[in-house]
Chain A
Amino acid sequence: MAFQILLNIALAFLWMFIKVSYDPVSFIRGYLFGLLIIFVLRRFFHSRFYLYRVWSMISLVLLFFKELVLSNWSVVKLVIRPKLNIRPGIFAYETNLTEDWQITILSNLITLTPGTLVLDVSDDNKTLYIHTIDIDDVDDAVSSIKNSFEKAIMEVSR
């Protein structure tokens, strides 16, 4: 992906040299033409066309914000409620992610999810220990982590 972006910038500079005009507008124009060229030649690269990956990163950031707002709403409900009928606990969550940065992002996302907080990561990077406020909806939490977060992170690294 980094190679494709560098190539695109180089093509933009090439465009600036061809037009003999060195302002940001012609850089952007050259960048767009370069994008088109890279899209046409996408089958010669090893990785996917890089805009897909940029898009999945943007959707991951949006997911972060959505989870942050939802978790705040649940904390507000929990604190305002007159009676504290919560059942906290710690459960182990097996993850399929392998890279360090993926696990970091996953644990940040889990910490921002409603009602869960990462306590520890096992030494072999396979299990996350998650403290949850309500143990009753563990299965719910696990499936939502599996289906939305892990998928989104895999999508970025594909």
Chain B
Amino acid sequence: MNAIIEFLIGFFILVGALLSLVAAFGVIRLPDVYTRNHAASKSATLGVMCILLGAFLYFYHLEGHFNSRLILGFVFLFMTSPVAGHLISRAAYHSGVPLWNKSVRDDLKRDMKKASAGNKDDLKKNNKKKALVSK
């Protein structure tokens, strides 16, 4: 039993460190903001979560100390990091950061164009109405 728990602690810490390393490599290697965000928001999350879990198990097993803050940190990280990834990429998109030149499809651009064209039509109609009223 002891050996199993010690193995698990080592496994979690090592896997967490490895995933963080992979996230760092991904941020260096991948070509644009969005693909980098894939690496950063997923691998870094699970990496840090594994390290926290390993630390929790270590203190619980060796010192009999149940540290609930580590569990809370685990839960908070799990809830917030996908939102952070979403917000960063959304902010990048709306401030005009281009996609990688090998990207093939962009539905958002198409729909945004459509929406702005619709708005322009509305504006024209409103202006015409206003003009009619003022006449």
Contacts and interface: CB of A to CB of B under 8 A. Distances in A.
A117 interface: yes
Nearest to B33: A131
Secondary structure of the A side of the interface?
Answer: mixed
B111 A122 contact: yes
Contacts of A8: none
Interface in B86-133: 86, 89-90, 93-94, 99-100, 102-109, 111
A87 B102 contact: yes
A117 B105 contact: no
Contacts of B107: 90-92, 129
A102 interface: no
A30 interface: no
A86 interface: yes
The size bracket of the interface on A is: 20 to 34
Q: Which 4 A-B pairs have the closest CB atoms?
A: A89-B105, A111-B82, A92-B107, A129-B108
B34 A117 contact: yes
Contacts of A90: 99, 103, 105-109
A80 B22 contact: yes
A111 B41 contact: yes
Interface of B: 19, 22-23, 25-26, 29-32, 34-35, 37-39, 41-43, 45-46, 78-79, 82-83, 85-86, 89-90, 93-94, 99-100, 102-109, 111
A123 to B, nearest CB: 8
B89 to A, nearest CB: 6
Contacts of A84: 29-31
Secondary structure of the B side of the interface?
Answer: helix
Interface stretch (A19-27, A39-47, A70-78, A148-156): A70-78
A8 B99 CA distance: 54
Contact of A68 (B39, B42, B94, B106): B42
A92 B110 CA distance: 10
A120 B112 CA distance: 11
A87 B32 CA distance: 12
B135 to A, nearest CB: 34
Contacts of A80: 22, 25
A122 B114 CA distance: 12
